[in-house]
């Protein structure tokens, strides 16, 4: 059986908190509405998806009217 000798070193102390323990920063949140679709370049897939969804809604509305 082979014996393996491993050398170990002393553990390194890692500081668990910042140096300024009693200082807390507060960030304010503003209510801003961000619409990623209006801030992005045109997306062909999304445009076609919206078109298909509007056709589907129109079809379903007409089907519901005919069934009444």
> For every residue of 29-67, which 3-state class applies, written as one string?
CCCCCCCHHHHCCCCHHHHHHHHHHHHHHHHHHHHHHHH
Confidence band of 27 (pLDDT split at 50, 70, 90): low
Query: Is the pLDDT assigned to residue 2 strictly greater than 70?
Result: no
Q: Dihedral, CA atoms, 33, 35, 38, 42, nearest 10 degrees? A: 170
Dihedral of the CA atoms 24, 29, 34, 36 (nearest 10)?
Answer: 20
For the chain, the C-alpha Rg in angstroms (whole number) is 31
Decide: pTM greater than 0.85: no
21-48 mean pLDDT: 73
What does pLDDT average to over the chain?
77
């Amino acid at each position: 059986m082979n014996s393996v000798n491993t050398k170990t070193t002393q553990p390194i102390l890692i500081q668990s908190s910042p140096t300024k323990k009693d200082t807390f920063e507060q960030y304010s949140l503003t209510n801003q509405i961000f619409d990623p679709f209006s801030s992005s370049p045109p997306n062909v897939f999304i445009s076609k998806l919206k078109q298909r969804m509007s056709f589907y809604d129109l079809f379903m509305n007409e089907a519901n009217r005919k069934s009444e």
